Amino acid sequence: MSKKILVLDDNRDILDIVNEVLSYENFEVRTTSTSTNILQMARDYSPDLMILDYLLSDGNGGEICKQIKADKTLSHIPVIIFSAYINRNVDYPSFGCEAVIPKPFDLNELVDQVNNLIAQN
């Protein structure tokens, strides 16, 4: 059975690339460009891993990660945060994420991080 990944990014091009790469790696991928109802989407989809963009047009991936980790039905899900703002003194671990990948990102690094986190979970 394929492992499921839920990806939130407001950039459609990034969603398309991540979807293509992870689908090629035999993951079942669901993407969304809006943070509206993301927690309910996660509950309904039951992903094995979530990838969140840090800076969204309608929210903040760090704050969404905190909500995921505070929710007893979702807190076990590993979270990767994508960010183009790595050097802006943001304390990413304080959000509870398991990994941070800087944008632009290397596709091999993304696949490696996803495989490592899913294997640990």
Per-position pLDDT tens, the chain of length 121: 799 999 999 999 999 999 999 999 999 999 999 999 999 999 999 999 999 999 999 999 999 999 999 999 999 999 999 988 776 788 899 999 999 999 889 999 999 999 999 998 7
Report how many domains make up the chain.
1
Domain CATH number, residue 87: 3.40.50.2300
Give the pLDDT score at 18.
97
Give the pLDDT score at 86.
76
Range of the domain at 17: 4-120
3-state secondary structure the chain: CCCEEEEECCCHHHHHHHHHHHHHCCCEEEEECCCCCHHHHHHHHCCCEEEEECEECCEEHHHHHHHHHHCCCCCCCCEEEEECCCCCCCCHHHHCCCEEEECCCCHHHHHHHHHHHHHHC
